[in-house]
Chains A and B, each alone.
Chain A
Amino acid sequence: MKRLSFVGILFITLLLSCSTEDDVNGGGGDQSGFDRKVLLENVADNIAIPAYENLAARLNSLQSSTTAFTTTVSVENLTSLRTSWKQAYVSWQAISFLEIGKAEEISFRNFMNVYPVTVADIEANISSGSYDLSLVSKQDEQGFAAIDYLLNGIGTTDEEVVAVFNEPTTGANYRQYLTDVVARMVQLTDVVVSDWKGAYRDNFVNNSGSSATSSFDKLVNDYLFHYEKHLRAGKIGIPAGAFNNVPLEDRVEAYYDGEFSKTLFLANLNAMQDFFNGKHFDAATNGESFKTYLEYLNRNDLSTLINDQFDIIRLESAELDDNFSAQVRTNNTLMLQTFDNLQANVVLLKVDMLSAFSVSVDFIDADGD
């Protein structure tokens, strides 16, 4: 039985890959007749561009709050700066999975949100006042997580944090570093937004065939890569010790804030489910999506299973503490259960959905040595 079905799968795979060869970046269809171009238009116009514009706007607010704080270092300005940081961080979760086009080219995600940061290296940058944040090796010294450290990690009370930024000899370097980190995030985001609003939008939409380099194939892969590596592993699995049996409470997102990791996780989870359903950014309307594509292929069963699993993840993770570090310390089993729930959707998305779309996985787990 097992061998028979394997032969079947093999033949189906070969046949499918056979027919795709003729259909390189063509008129937006695959062999099923589904118009991938309409899906890509929905992604570009109703999800990517508005979500990136929202991120850019939130980062501009963050930059204004940063200027206000560095001009007048006070607890009051620190509080409003933190609020801006949180709003920007949440808006990042809405689009962080779309590492395609310019974002991929400039390694956007790795410059915006690597955590944990390396505190010793951040402090060395600050004390020397000399650093090049464009270096790949400095990705764990900038971005949202570096701001988390600067606003929440350099003192235990608000007064202590303010005192560091106000220190007569060293305070200026802290203010400068915060300013530079925020400015770089603003600048990188502007590069991505203007590319989407410029030539890239049409390139993305018109590359609607079904080769490995077509927009749809890359989009599905980028989505899955983010789901596995950043949502499942980064936010839950690694802190819970799912990969090496050792829970690591300092690996959570927004570690220094302490109360924000669950909010960020849920924001990203919701964004990924919304994307699956083609939901327009910040609106109740849905457009062409992975879900409607599956339905077109008569795989309503699968799209329902995937949505049900997203709902299960959300429902069961409601039990988690707002502070994932605390959750890992007090009841890591709940974190591991969340991981298992996320894992269940990997199979549905990566095996069943990809097979339905006849898209090949273009990434592998890193070598790890």
Chain B
Amino acid sequence: MKFNSIAKGAFVLGATLLLSCSSDDDTTPGIVEPATYNFTRNNESTVSFSGQTTRILMAEELAAAFLDPTATEAELDAMFAHQQGDNDFSDADLNASDKNILSKTAASRDFFFANTVASADIKADYQLWIANQVSEVFPNWNTDATAGQAGAIQEAGGGPVRYVNAEGVEYNQLFTKSLIGALMLDQALNNYLSSAVLDEADNIENNNNGITAEGRNYTTMEHKWDEAYGYFYGTAADPANPNATIGQDDGFMNKYIGRAENDSDFAGIAADIFNAFKLGRAAIVAKDYTVRDAQAEIIREKASEIIGIRAVYYLQQGKLGLEAGVVDYASVFHDLSEGLGFIYALQFTRRPGTTQPYFTKTEVEDFITTLVDTPQNGFWNVTPATLQTMSETIAAEFNFTIEEAAN
């Protein structure tokens, strides 16, 4: 066994080295791949994803507002379902925008076009979490949280204070981490990288003939691809070279690409994702849709893997915390709340080569029931064994081990 793993490690390493060596010289014929995500037509950029940046920034403000106990439900709802011109955000540009979060939540072509029941169900979850944060948690901001009692609970060592519901769940964490799936991942993997969207109407013909969208410098197909890119890198310090600051630009996809990259077990994943975006975009310019679609599959696999890794990571962190001699419940609840969000996000992942997520909505709902219905007081009574079993179930569907995800 041990020898096998040495051989396997050496093989993987060798393969990696070979791949990384060859990628420099190995240009696909006809495709001109730039060093950064810079594409031009007539010397002007053809890249645009301002709508995605806007939605990420709206989500950042809404996530912060979850921790303002003076906010009302109406105010939070308005941030979620912003209407152009309404004064919902501190940033005037966001207020002026005609974009909002709600309309793009669980709204991809591939997963929800003919499944509006599920879409409505998921949107309702988000609105319920907002309502519950205001009705359950805000009134107990200065109450000590105990089993069955919402309130505040401080982490060990004079650490941060966490605000939880009666079951120990932080709605702000559930909201934020799950939105990575329902908004960023779903829109990118299941909408903009989908041939149903990229090739819609006469997109191929127009792209083949260099016919740009009306009043724009890009073809519609180019733009769709860029919109997927924007959900990952829309807040990057240098959007053409986002890996320079990966993990530091926003609290959503960007952050967790960075987290995976910083785990030595997954180092290289940030470059894999970025390179696939870049090559796929170059393939569109070169009208090579086979190469384009192959890159979309790489992005789907790697981005989905990040969601799986984080779900298992937080379940394992929670398990470790529960096994300590002195249990730091605030820290455990924080980990499990993040984990709950990533588990929710699993239903928006995309198994490459299929139109299916790694875990269905029903499977995700079962996980959540198992974590929260314990049978009473939620996280206060969850057991390490439950967290271990769930970690195993999730990791089994991905190409990583629990140990790799947990450290």
Contacts and interface: CB of A to CB of B under 8 A. Distances in A.
Q: Which residue of B17, B326, B327 has the most chain A CB atoms within 10 A of its CB atom?
A: B326
B326 A136 contact: yes
B398 to A, nearest CB: 20
Contacts of A369: 251, 255
Given A14-B6, A107-B325, A136-B330, A7 B13 contact: yes
Contacts of B66: none
A117 B326 contact: no
Contacts of B209: none
Contact of B157 (A3, A21, A105, A139): A139
B20 to A, nearest CB: 9
A192 B326 CA distance: 14
B158 interface: yes
Given A18-B2, A21-B2, A106-B326, A140 B10 contact: no
Nearest to A102: B325
A115 B327 CA distance: 20
A158 to B, nearest CB: 27
Given A10-B13, A18-B6, A21-B2, A364 B407 contact: yes
A166 B154 CA distance: 32
Contacts of A140: 154, 157-158
Given A14-B5, A18-B2, A114-B157, A136 B13 contact: no
Q: Which residue of A21, A110, A136, A367 has the most chain B CB atoms within 10 A of its CB atom?
A: A136
A137 interface: yes
A200 to B, nearest CB: 13
Nearest to A234: B157
B156 A110 contact: yes
Contact of A3 (B17, B155, B156): B17
Given A3-B17, A18-B2, A117 B158 contact: yes
* Chain A, interface residues (CB within 8 Å), range: 20 to 34
B249 to A, nearest CB: 14
Interface in B1-60: 2, 5-6, 9-10, 13, 17
A136 B325 contact: no
A321 to B, nearest CB: 25
Interface string B188-208: 000000000000000000000
A106 to B, nearest CB: 6
B126 interface: no
Interface string A335-369: 00000000000000000000000000000100101
Nearest to B325: A105
A171 interface: no
Interface in B300-329: 317, 324-329
B158 A10 contact: no
Contacts of B10: 7, 10-11
Contacts of B2: 18, 21
Contacts of A11: 6, 10
Contacts of B317: 367
B153 interface: yes
A104 interface: yes
A25 interface: no
A18 B17 CA distance: 24
A153 to B, nearest CB: 16
Interface string B136-166: 0000000010000000011111100000000
A369 B156 CA distance: 15
Q: Which residue of B157, B317, B328 has the most chain A CB atoms within 10 A of its CB atom?
A: B157
Contact of B156 (A21, A105, A139): A139
B5 A104 contact: no
Contacts of A107: 156, 324-326, 328
Nearest to A138: B154
A116 interface: yes
A220 B302 CA distance: 36
A106 B157 contact: no
Contact of B153 (A115, A137, A139): A137
Contacts of B251: 369
A18 B325 CA distance: 31
Nearest to B406: A364
Contacts of B158: 114-118, 139-140
A110 B325 CA distance: 13
Interface in A90-116: 104-107, 110, 114-116
Nearest to B176: A369
Nearest to A21: B2
A350 B251 CA distance: 30
B321 to A, nearest CB: 11
Interface in A134-148: 136-137, 139-140
Contacts of B144: 137
Contacts of A21: 2
10 contacts: A3-B17, A7-B13, A10-B9, A18-B6, A110-B326, A136-B327, A136-B328, A137-B144, A137-B155, A367-B335
Given A107-B325, A139-B156, 6 more contacts: A18-B2, A107-B324, A107-B326, A114-B158, A136-B156, A136-B326
Q: Which 5 A-B residue pairings sit nearest by Cβ, starting from the closest? A: A140-B158, A105-B325, A137-B154, A107-B326, A114-B158
